[in-house]
Amino acid sequence: MGRRCRIFSRSSTLKNQIYNVIKPYLLLLPFCLGVFLGADDQTKVVTILPQIMIDFEIPITSLDTASWLIVIYLIGYTAVMPFTGRLSDKFGFRNLFIISLIIFLIGSVLTALSPEISKIFHREPNVNWILATRFIQSIGGGALVPISIAAAGFLVPRNKLPIAYGLIGASAEAGAVFGPLVGGALTEFLSWEWAFWINLPPTILIIIAVIIWIPKSTFRDLKIDYLGSIIFFLFIATLSLACAQITKSNELLIIFAVISFATLIGGIFLYKASKEFIIPKLIIKNKLFMLANLTHFFIGITLIIAIITVPVMAETILGASPLEAGLRLLRLTIALSIGAFLGGVLTQRLGARIPLILGFVLIAIGFYFMFGWDLKLADPSMTIHLAISGLGFGLCISPITDTAMKEIKDSDRGSASALLTVSRMLGMTIGLSSLTAWGTTRFAKFTSGLEGFSLDPIAQKKMTDASLNAGLDVFQEFFLIGLLVTLVAVPLSLAITLKKNKGDR
């Protein structure tokens, strides 16, 4: 009897120990799911864009207009982060997370209803309505990432934070890469509106879980820089708009560039003149933190190249369906998730240097292989190339976040995590705007000498083949740009890991 009691006691003790180890990560689960949903809607429209263009009567020649369904989300998603990060520091991560989910939920419903809303106010479909509802969505979605990173600092023991950062980062990246798959599947079997209706059940469940599980946050006496928030938003928006016009050299390029430069100067002046800035000054003065942000910026550029180019290339010149295009990108997603977890473990045990450098090396190798893709692309080569890149992206998440956040005090974690996420999102936004403009111009140049249609089947086939080859050239250039940007970022990865931080070996 006594032996059974001892065995039972040891078993209970072991269960309690296991529960205590995983409890912080269980508390973090609703935040990871929220981040996943918000990021999922960044790229969900990639595979449903053709159907939206049909419903809103957007011609194929106005692809740059349609691309703003992605860009407008990235702008709002990015610009809102510093403001909500600071609000999180003041009012608590729990309250702001719930409010952000509600805004995201409202935006999703309005986006799904946008064709009907448009018809109420216009005789013909008007794309401005869905752009407006996508922007509302982005405000809620963008706030979730910095709030979650700040929450990790309170819910997870400090020595376990690298793994927590890896999980949050993996949720964001996996959401962004799963987006095309979800959008493609729902469009193929239902309609594109269901890509937004599907957000309702999980969002409601996450809100309930946060209310029940997560302890209430404490309020802090902090000032909020509202003017700085407006200036930052204008800077992000006009910079992205200028990048979208970069190959056109028109009046809009000049206007947006001037406004962007003016808001930058205004932000610098406000930073020097005010005691309270949208981002705490101690954070901005932290050189290690700012280097990590610059590294994250280049990660954003390379990631958006992979996320957008792979499915669009599959649908346009390789003849894949929206679902097939999403499934191809799934190779990168799975590897990214695995890499994010491994990056957290390696960072915790070895420090940031090894996983970060290894991650950039793998990204560069992946882009090098993708640069060689042709119209005969098939497995297993495609899977191997995408898996290499995905693993590299995943490995970089935790070491960058852990390095950036190591010297940040608890009261500034929301603001710091917001700025760190903004850096990556700014890279994605500028990268997407620039690539869209670049790709449109380059494709037009490659096909400028071709006729639109011929009754001669042989001549028509030659024109079709020439168009496909022109598209292939553009996509290969995208992958080459990804490779070059990655190589530029390698010295930065060395710079932010040369300084010996606590916990590094």
Side-chain half-sphere CA neighbours of 352 within 13 A: 29
Q: Please determine, for residue 372, whether its predicted confidence score (pLDDT) is greater than 90.
A: no
Q: Please determine, for residue 395, whether its predicted confidence score (pLDDT) is greater than 80.
A: yes
Backbone phi, then psi, for 409, in 5-degree steps?
-75, 160
User: Could you give the CA distance from residue 174 to residue 192 in angstroms, rounded to a whole number?
Assistant: 21
Report the amino acid identity of residue 315. Answer: E
Give the pLDDT band (50/70/90) at residue 32. Answer: confident
Q: What is the token pair recorded at 450?
A: 């071709």
User: Look-up: residue for tokens 């610059």?
Assistant: 294
Which has the closest alpha carbon to 496: 362, 416, 383, 405? Answer: 405
Report the amino acid identity of residue 14. Answer: L
CB 286 within 8 A of CB 407: yes
Percent of the chain with pLDDT over 70: 73
Give the pLDDT band (50/70/90) at residue 505. Answer: very low
Summarised one tens digit per residue, pLDDT across range 464-489 is: 556 666 667 778 788 888 888 888 88
Map residue 214 onto helix, strand or coil: coil
SS3 of 264-316: HHHHHHHHHHCCCCCCCHHHHCCHHHHHHHHHHHHHHHHHHHHHHHHHHHHHH
Q: At the fourth CATH level, which superfamily is domain 24-225+276-498?
A: MFS general substrate transporter like domains (1.20.1250.20)
Specify the pLDDT at position 503.
42
Summarised one tens digit per residue, pLDDT across range 398-446 is: 888 877 777 676 666 666 776 777 787 778 777 776 776 666 666 556 5
Centre a 10 Å sphere on the Cβ of residue 392 and count the other Cβ atoms it contains: 27
Cα 340 to its chain centre, rounded Å, is 14
User: Look-up: residue for tokens 């159907």?
Assistant: 51
What's the DSSP call for residue 412?
G
- pLDDT averaged over every residue in the chain: 75
Whole-model pTM over 0.85? no
Q: Please determine, for residue 116, whether its predicted confidence score (pLDDT) is greater than 90.
A: no
Summarised one tens digit per residue, pLDDT across range 51-74 is: 777 777 665 555 556 667 777 787
Cα 383 to its chain centre, rounded Å, is 22
Summarised one tens digit per residue, pLDDT across range 227-268 is: 777 887 788 778 777 776 665 666 777 887 888 888 888 877
User: Could you give the CA distance from residue 325 to residue 312 in angstroms, rounded to a whole number?
Assistant: 7
Q: Please determine, for residue 119, whether its predicted confidence score (pLDDT) is greater than 60.
A: yes
Domain residue extents for the chain: 24-225+276-498
